[in-house]
Homo-oligomer: A and B are copies of this chain.
Amino acid sequence: MISKKTKYAINALVFLAKRTGEGPIVISEIAEKERIPRKFLESILLSLKKAGLLASKKGKGGGYFLLQDPEEINLADVMRLFDGPIAFLPCVTYKYYERCEECKDEETCGIRDVFFEVKQKTVELLKQASLSEIIKRESNLISHL
């Protein structure tokens, strides 16, 4: 399961993506419309800013806005930012690699082999899931009601 933090981040990003071009949106509006605790959202947006996905403007007329294209931002990156590795085992991650303490031989581990495959497929799907893709799916779902 992803954390609430990640879920909130995704919701906020999709929200901002839908309003691209409208200029900065204030935290309070995102918080209200997306039903996210205001103070919690603050720290989430700050992280997204540090990661280079968002930019902000202070003072009156300020707020947050997307810095990257909605096609560029995908769920794999967002999930990794907040929850760390997507893989089920530390020994099949790339950036967060760690050996399993109790493992006897990584090279011939059948469990690792399975989880490596699962990770590959998962990341592939999550990389494809950009903000634009999510919005597209939403409108598809609406038109099929």
Contacts and interface: CB of A to CB of B under 8 A. Distances in A.
* A contacts with B: majority SS: helix
A5 interface: no
Interface of A: 1-2, 7-8, 10-11, 14, 34-36, 75, 79, 84-85, 87-90, 100-102, 104, 107-111, 113-114, 117-118, 121-122, 125-126, 129, 133-138, 141-142, 145
Nearest to A102: B35
Determine how many copies of this chain the complex contains.
2
B109 A138 contact: yes
A108 B141 contact: yes
Contact of A7 (B100, B121, B137): B100
Nearest to A109: B138
